[in-house]
Structure 1
Amino acid sequence: MARSSADDDELRRACQNAVNDGGGAKGGNKQKVVLSIRVAKSHGIWGKSGKLARNMAKPRVLAISTKSKGQRTKAFLRVLKYSSGGVLEPAKMYKLKHLSKVEVISNDPSGCTFMLGFDNLRSQSVAPPQWTMRNIADRNRLLICILNMCKEILSRLPKVIGIDIVEMALWAKENTSTVTNQAKPQDGGPVASVVTENDLTVTVEKELVSQAEEEDMEALLGTYVMGIGEAEAFSERLKRELLALEAANVHAILESEPLVEEVLRGLESASICVDDMDEWLGIFNVKLRHMREDIESIETRNNKLEMQSVNNKAVIVELDKLLERLRVPSEYAACLTGGSFDEAHMHQNIDACEWLTGALCGLEVPNLDPSYANMRAVKEKRAELEKLKTSFVRRASEFLRSYFASLVDFMISDKSYFSQRGQLKRPDHADLRYKCRTYARLLQHLKSLDKNGLGPLRKAYCCSLNLLLRREAREFANELRASTKASRNPTVWLEASAGSNQSVNNADTSNVSEAYAKMLTIFIPLLVDESSFFAHFMCFEVPALVPPGGPANGNKTGSNDDDVDDDDLGIMDIDDNDSKAGKTIGELGTLNECLQDLLNGIQEDFAAVVDWAYKIDPLRCISMHGITERYLSGQKADAAGFVRLLLDDLESRISMQFGRFVEEACHQIERNERNVRQMGVLSFIPRFAILAARMEQYIQGQSRDLVDQAYTKLVSIMFVTLEKIAQTDPKYADIVLLENYAAFQNSLYDLANVVPTLAKFYHQASESYEQACTRHINMIIYIQFERLFQFARKVEDLVYTIAPEEIPFQLGLSKMDLRKMSKSSLSGVDKSISAMYRRLQKNLTSEELLPSLWDKCKKEFLDKYDSFVQLIAKIYPSETMLPVAEMRDLLASM
């Protein structure tokens, strides 16, 4: 008999390594392979035809392994497959605790094929794989090991179909000589024993039926057989015992009759006593019911008296509280009706406002019992408080309107607040804000008392401060322009007559854009701060523009260090409800409308600076555009909407002014085409290179799109104008084009390497240059060798219509005609080539282009002559022409 694969130690060691290396062990808790055996895996059905790939058996190795964890032991069924290199590697792992069925396939005549069913498979619709063993012994050996594991570790057996367990147990006894039963040592966990016979190793844990269970079953079966043999005698004995028991019961009953009679007499006397007791209890029950009714009536009257007393006390307390609410303290009444709003008296005004707000809230239904709301005293007191509120709001509003106007008038009347000749003055509103901050709490209380009352106050503040801001901006802009010295550059850049102004165009005008940047640096943070201060001071429920200590604080316009806290008005802690994150869109819209009144008109001074800078140097629009974009990207707060609009308008105005400059430059370019004839490089080609170089110097990061659009428009007009000028004299059109396109490339070579937009036009000019060169060279070649290439063209035209051998017999294409043409065209070819060179040189004004053009001309002529010689050799094989090599050497020597 062949040796079983279960005894293969090499196979077991390979399985052990594959299980532990393939993720079967975590840390030091490794799995131990108990049994490993080779099997064949298939999905086919015995006795039926199926797809070849489906029914083909695949070699696999089944391994049973255990893993101990504390007092518990887990058992696994591992499926291993062979890799391409013949090495075992894990394929699948099943836990034996989920094994529900072991079925031997009945269609397999050998009985070596079985199927294992697990209850935790995700798809129960897919048939599980079938495992085929080499022989019945291997099958029994594997199944006995699995069943022993289930019984010992899981204390249960799976359902076995198609095989007798007793038969398997008998096979196990026959094939096992030494059985070491499982023992549980002190450290816990089952230990699998090994049984051997004739070098056959079988791993079992216990017999399927123990010796004690077998003896009990035999005893039970022996008793069962005995009962069958003595059934009649056993029945007779039971009948006799039953009759004896019945006789004994009747005798016992007869002996106990006196006792029964005595018991009956006792029960009768007890019944008489119970009847008497029931009659007495009925009498007492009636008396108790009458007494209970009397007690209830007394308690009811007593409870009503107590409730009335408690209610009277509670009413007195509530009335005292209500009277306290309705009382108006005399000091508050005097302050609300005729108190002063000076700074020294603001503490009393704030206290009076707080009391009035609390009193009005206390008389509202949520804070007041609804039953009191319609009382006459409450209505009268509410009307009195409303009069006090209206009077106070009117007086406070009139005072604040006049106060704001007086503050601004005082500052406007003092010229030291504004820029003067020879001195730029940075606006300083620290003192103004300090004085306004005194009344911040008052405005908070005015808003809580009457929300609509803040509208006129906001408008008055905006109108007053608008005068101050516009005056500061106007004086600052005027002095800024007056103190900035810059040479004015003309806007004539690309005109032919502007060559004498070249030195003027190189004048440094950087202080112009620096002046514009200073204007933004001073006033944009000031306007943002004013917007933030106004939003908080006038109690708008909007988020802060810049949190305290934010980056904008570094740009404060005040001269004192206290300006860092300009936005901290000390008003956010008055009412926590005012600092809620949920802000309405309507409040933000109202704020932006007020900011329009606050800052409207100041944009005129910014626009005046832009126009002034444009007149000095239009190209400074590029720098100013970049400066404006940087400031615009930093203004993201919704409450500073007007500042964003101001920057957007400035950006649009700068773009419009620069667009005017570009349009004027385009008109200057277009005026060049009105000349009768122009030769050589047009004036706007080199001047555009100078213009582009200077525009690149002015770009400050974010103005790339503005300059690229200008490049696109200018170069497009330049190319269109160049084409129009070239067409005025078709004879010299290609010369004009190639010279100007070459000049365009030479002048913009460095810039095209770093500017993508110019690189695109550089390549376009390069293509146009090559096309113009090709046309001009071909024209010169055909003029000098007209007869030669006319003859070749006639031959080429006939090649497509008649046979090559018939062409020499055509009119004008005979061999004699070929010899005459060759003699006239190639007899003095060196002189013809020299004439071609002189013709190329004759009308070319840019001498530096002549070498490259002459090289192109020689190459083009040599290619055409090579084609001509090949054509003649094909049509006139007997005729000899000047060899191409000699022509190449001749051209090289010229």
Structure 2
Amino acid sequence: MTAIKHALQRDIFTPNDERLLSIVNVCKAGKKKKNCFLCATVTTERPVQVKVVKVKKSDKGDFYKRQMAWELRDLAEVDAKDASKENPEFDLHFEKVYRWVASSTAEKNSFISCIWKLNQRYLRKKVEFVNVSSQLLEELPKAEESVPSGESQSVAGGDEDALDDYQELNAREEQDIESMMEVCEYAISNAEAFAEKLSRELQVLDGANIQSIMASEKQVNILMQLLDEALAEEMLQSVKEQMDQISQSNRLIQISNTNNGKLLDEIQFLVNYMDLSKGHIRALQDGDLSSPKGIEACINASEALLQCMNVALRPGHDKLMAVKQQQHLFSELRDTFARRLTNHLNNVFVHQFYRSSCLSLPGHDQSSTLSQHTAELTLPKHSPLHRDLLRYAKLMEWLKNTHREKYEGLSRTYVDYMTRLYEREIKDFFEVAKIKMAGTTKEAKGKFATLPRKESALKQETESLHGSSGKLTGSTSSLNKLTVQGSNSRRSQSSSLLDMGNMSASDLDVADRTKFDKIFEQVLSELEPLCLAEQDFISKFFKLQQHPTITPPLAQVNLKDMVRLMMNKIFQSIETELNSLIALGDKIDSFHSLYMLVKMSHHVWTAENVDPASYLSTTLGNVLVIVKRNFDKCISGQIKQMEEVKISKKSKVGILPFVTGFEEFAELAETIFRNAERRGDLDKAYVKLIRAVFMNVEKVANESQKTPRDVVMMENFHHIFSTLSRLKISCLEAERREAKHKYTDHLQSYVINSLGQPLEKLNHFFEGVEARVAQGVREEEVSYQLAFNKQELRKVIKEYPGKEVKKGLDNLYKKVDKHLCEEESLLQVVWHSMQDEFIRQYKHFEGLIGRCYPGSGITMEFTIQDMLEYFSSIAQSH
């Protein structure tokens, strides 16, 4: 309000030679939104005119303009509506009745009091005051003679111009003022009375000055006559002396008048700006700090006290005894109110915190805290506590500006209480989360049956987890190295990528992991608003908000640091509890690290969007580092398990466990990481895992004794190719093509190597034929070679009649069936490829017979059609 008064005085009233004495922020009754100001003013020139001026902001809102003015002599009645109760409404009766609603009762009372004093001082016709408390009007003595108290908030419009005309007192004037102040013993103790006395004497001097001027005019007329005579009688010297005396007399009168006015202005300045009302003094000393009205009164009083203490005194004011006494009074009031406020807020902290933690309730069973929110995994809300304390925010700001040590003491007290309160609530909250998390496992299946359901046992378990995430993740010492099992029993075994921590794949299912995901998300969703609400309260209550437009950058950094330090102290247990919860989840199932990485990354991203430097963002970022390490450790553990895989010498290999494990890992990961911020981490893990799968498939194929190498490579790379084609993982497109290539190559190699068995002698014969041709023997001359003549050819062909060929093919089918596994269903694919290869070889043999034995009439004992029937009947019979 002070800034508005100065602006109005400077922009509106000083240009019109007016002085602003009192101001009230009002709006018309029933029109709350259109605010304006009613101003009580007097002119600086005599005769004094007293007006009530209505001022409002321009439509653009960047300056004030004078809208309407009334002469005080036209005011007939002031109706305050109610003299016994606080009521912001009042009426002013001019030519018509104007009904107003003030922004506060205190402003209304101050304005009416000023109008009453102006009426008493300047008007003969007295205004009628209705429903105005007589106590309000009696609080200011000698109202008909004194300057209105409303001037204590006014701005002296002519002070700056008057200072330019200031003239130093000469020795005689100083003696006269000292004599005057000695005569008036109350000049220092009662500055207001002394000012009134000077004002009256100034009026007497004004009258004497006028009389002197009038007398001077008569003397001038006489002197003019004397001048005429002096021209004749040579008396001009006498006239000059008389004129000098008159001029000197007038100058002395003017100096005395100016100096008296200056002295009066100085005294009025001290009275206006260093006077604290009795109501404010009572509020500071005994005001009620527990009721809304009492708090508002204390806020107004503390702000008024701060304005009085911060007033810019003019040179020499600090040496006046009255000023020193007022400053001493202000210091005592400040210290007294600071002690009262500190003690009261300490008591409020204690009461509110104990009420929030239920410690104040008689017979309260503290052990029930854990089960209080078991049904719903939630954290208690402290919005009622924050709402109650925010009523004191302005008083905390006052304490911060006046008593820094008490402000900091209250800050430490609040932090200490909240630290204990949140530590207990957060600990209980995480205990419930761990119980629910442990319930996601199927204890009846035994691998995690050691995790108890009872709270006491769980507490003992979780206490061992605090700060020991490194001991839990990757604890696979209890796992037996994977052994490749036969195809008939493989589905009963857990895959490499699912046999994690202390849990096997058979003990986990999608529902368990989904439940864990919901629990972890609920934990983060409860912590986020809790931290944000507390940080917002701390910033508002302790006045640590950032104002970039007016606050220097360095001060902003300091405010952020203060908020962060308080939040770190209050929520010091959150990071530890989160790490413990993460360690437990990772111990239950390392796959949980995928869920936690996605959820934690999303909440970190959300917190950084709200405030990158907030406590929540920093803390979740630290925890995210731990989650990412667990995720990396999970991937590294699976690669290590692949490297340690051993094969059975008694059964065929089939699809390796880590190949099916990668399939299940990829299926789950694609579901979890759909639209996730950390997709890049998964892509990197994919590349590491698939390269390890490729490398270890080849390793197992090379070490296999029961199953041919080509079969191991063919079946496993076919499975990998099918998986990557179905999931369409873009970052593994090159690996998908490579898997297809390896599958095709080893299928062809296996078919070629296996087909040589049924027609072995015939193959050897034609290999010899091709060798002779390669040595330079002409094809049509091969039949003349003793070892490869027509007779030898017929002898070899007779060894492979149709029945023998079919029998050989049947044995080959059985052998292939033993090599291949059922899961991949490649038997018919391999058999069809063998049929194509057999036909190709048959045609190759026929071609060699036609070229090397032309016209011999030698043919195979069976035809291509016979071969097709052999392959078809063998496949159907099995």
Shorter-chain TM range is 0.5 to 0.7
Residue 304 of structure 2, aligned match among 345, 355, 359: 355
Distance in 1 (alpha carbons) for counterparts of 2:279 and 2:857: 130
| Residues 1:672 and 2:666 aligned together | no
Q: Deviations over 1:37-64 (max 9, x none)?
A: xxxxxxxxxxxxxxxxxxxxxxxxxxxx
* 1:474 aligns with one of 404, 427, 436: 427
1:769 aligns with 2:743: yes
1:499 aligns with 2:499: no
Q: Would the aligned equivalents of 2:275 and 2:308 in 1 still touch at CA under 8 Å?
A: no
Pick which of 770-779 and 420-429 moved more.
420-429
Partner of 1:37: none
1:741 is aligned to 2:717: yes
Per-residue deviation, 1:427: 0.8
1:641 corresponds in structure 2 to 614
- Counterpart of 1:249? none
User: Residues of 2 paired with 1:297 and 1:639: CA distance?
Assistant: 82
What per-residue deviation string (whole Å, max 9, x for no partner) do you get for residues 324-377 of structure 1? 4345556655765787754474344323311221013213xxxx4457578787
The structure 1 residue matched to 2:418, chosen from 465, 471, 490, is: 465
> What does the per-residue CA deviation read over 1:851-883, in whole Å, with 9 as the maximum and x for residues that have no partner?
322333444465577778889999x79798989
- Check conservation: 1:741, 1:769, Cα contact below 8 A: yes
Tell whether 2:354 aligns with 1:409: yes
Please list, as runs of the form range in 1=range in 2, the aligned pairs for 1:382-781 lying within 5 A after superposition: 385=330, 389=334, 392-393=337-338, 396-397=341-342, 399-412=344-357, 413=359, 414=361, 418-420=369-371, 423-424=375-376, 426-450=379-403, 454-482=407-435, 485-488=439-442, 495-496=482-483, 499=493, 503-506=506-509, 508-509=511-512, 510-542=514-546, 584-635=556-607, 636-638=609-611, 641-673=614-646, 675-676=648-649, 679-681=652-654, 682-698=656-672, 701-702=675-676, 704-705=679-680, 707-729=682-704, 732-745=708-721, 748=723, 752-756=726-730, 761-780=735-754
- The question of whether the paired residues in 2 share the 8 Å contact of 1:459 and 1:597 is answered with no
Q: How far apart in 2 are the matches of 1:442 and 1:840? A: 94
Distance 2:861 2:533 in 1: 85
CA contact (8 A) 1:737 1:772 kept: yes
SS of the residue 1:584 aligns to: helix
Instruction: Name the SS for the 1:542 alignment partner.
Output: coil
Deviations 1:420-442 (A, max 9, x none): 26555651323312331231221
1:87 matched residue in structure 2: none
Tell me the amino acid that sits aligned with residue 830 of structure 2.
Answer: L
Taking a change above 3 Å as real, the CA distance of residues 690 and 493 of structure 1, as seen in their structure-2 partners, is farther
Instruction: Give the alignment of 1:814-825 within 5 angstroms.
Output: 819=789
- Contact kept, 8 Å, 1:423 with 1:479, in 2: the verdict is no
Q: Residues of 2 paired with 1:745 and 1:482: CA distance?
A: 42
Rounded Cα–Cα distance in structure 1 between residues aligned with 2:287 and 2:323: 26
CA contact (8 A) 1:494 1:683 kept: no
Counterparts of 1:629 and 1:890 in 2: how far apart (Å)? Answer: 66
Deviation at residue 776 of structure 1 after TM alignment = 2.3
Alpha-carbon RMSD across the aligned residues, in angstroms, is 5.0
Other structure's SS at 2:646 match: helix
Shift of 1:654: 3.8
Is residue 309–residue 330 contact of structure 2 (8 Å, CA) maintained in 1?
A: yes
Q: Using CA pairs below 8 Å that are at least 6 residues apart, which structure has the higher relative contact order?
A: 2
- The aligned runs of 1:280-429 (5 Å cut-off) are 302-303=250-251, 305-327=253-275, 332=280, 336=284, 341-343=289-291, 345-363=294-312, 368-369=313-314, 372=317, 385=330, 389=334, 392-393=337-338, 396-397=341-342, 399-412=344-357, 413=359, 414=361, 418-420=369-371, 423-424=375-376, 426-429=379-382
Query: What is the distance in 1 between the residues matched to 2:698 and 2:680?
Result: 27
Take 1:723 and 1:845, find their aligned partners in 2: how far apart are those partners?
17
In structure 2, what is the Cα distance between the partners aligned to 1:885 and 1:451?
Answer: 112
Shift of 1:842: 1.7
In the alignment, is the contact (CA less than 8 A) between 1:773 and 1:853 conserved in 2? yes
Aligned residue for 1:851? 828
Native 8 Å contact 1:481 1:609 kept in 2 = yes
Task: Give the C-alpha shift of residue 683 in structure 1.
Answer: 3.6
Q: Does structure 2 conserve the Cα–Cα contact (< 8 Å) formed by 1:495 and 1:684?
A: no
Q: Which amino acid aligns with 1:680?
A: V
Does the 8 Å contact 1:673/1:724 carry over to 2?
Answer: no
Q: Which amino acid aligns with 1:855?
A: H
CA contact (8 A) 2:659 2:720 kept: yes
- Contact kept? 2:820, 2:827, Cα under 8 Å: no
Distance 1:665 1:305, change over 3 A: same
Q: Give the match's secondary structure for 2:645.
A: helix
Please give the per-residue CA displacement for 1:638-658, whole angstroms capped at 9, x wherever unaligned. Answer: 287111233334444444444
Q: Give a deviation string over 1:456-487, Cα, whole Å, max 9, x none.
A: 43333222112212212222332344467433
Question: Could you tell me which residue of structure 2 aligns to residue 788 of structure 1?
Answer: 766
2:413 partner SS: helix
d(CA) in 1 for partners of 2:424, 2:398: 32
Unaligned runs of 5+ in 1: 1-282, 545-575, 799-805
Offset at 1:705?
4.9
2: CA distance, partners of 1:723 / 1:290: 138
Change in CA separation of 1:355 and 1:308 when aligned onto 2, cut-off 3 Å: same
C-alpha separation between the residues in 1 aligned to 2:253 and 2:810?
139
Q: Aligned with 1:540: secondary structure?
A: coil
Tell me if structure 2 keeps the 8 A contact 1:354–1:445.
yes
Task: Give the 3 Å change call, closer, same or farther, for CA 303–857 of structure 1 in structure 2.
Answer: farther
Structure 2 residue identity aligned to 1:523: L
Deviation at 1:506, TM superposition (A): 3.2
SS at match of 2:440: coil
**Partners of 2:781 and 2:241 in 1: how far apart?**
155
Deviation at 1:313, TM superposition (A): 0.9
Inter-CA distance 433–290: structure 2 relative to 1 (3 Å threshold): same
Structure 1 residues 171-203: Cα deviation after superposition (integer angstroms, max 9, x where no partner): xxxxxxxxxxxxxxxxxxxxxxxxxxxxxxxxx
One-letter amino acid matched to 2:603: Y
* Separation in structure 1 between the aligned mates of residue 628 and residue 371 of structure 2, nearest angstrom: 31
Question: 2: CA distance between counterparts of 1:370 and 1:810?
Answer: 134
Provide the rounded CA distance (Å) in 1 between the counterparts of 2:239 and 2:826: 140
When residues 615 and 838 of structure 1 are mapped into structure 2, their CA distance, relative to the original with a 3 A threshold, is same
Question: What displacement does 1:719 show?
Answer: 2.6
Identify which range, 731-740 or 646-655, moves more after superposition: 646-655
**Number of aligned residues:** 563
With over 3 angstroms needed to count, the CA separation of the structure-2 counterparts of 1:822 and 1:641, relative to structure 1, is: farther
Distance of 1:652 and 1:589 partners within structure 2: 23
| TM, length-normalised to structure 2 | 0.53
8 Å Cα contact 1:337/1:388 also seen in 2: yes
Q: Is the 8 A contact 1:753 1:759 kept in 2?
A: no
User: What letter matches 1:772 in structure 2?
Assistant: H
Amino acid at match of 2:412: K
> Residue 350 of structure 1 aligns to which amino acid in structure 2?
I
Cα distance in structure 1, aligned partners of 2:612 and 2:322: 46
Post-superposition Cα deviations, 1:583-630, rounded to whole Å, max 9, x if no partner, equal 823322322222212222123333444344444444344344433344
Structure with higher Rg: it is 1
The percentage of aligned residue pairs carrying the same residue is: 17
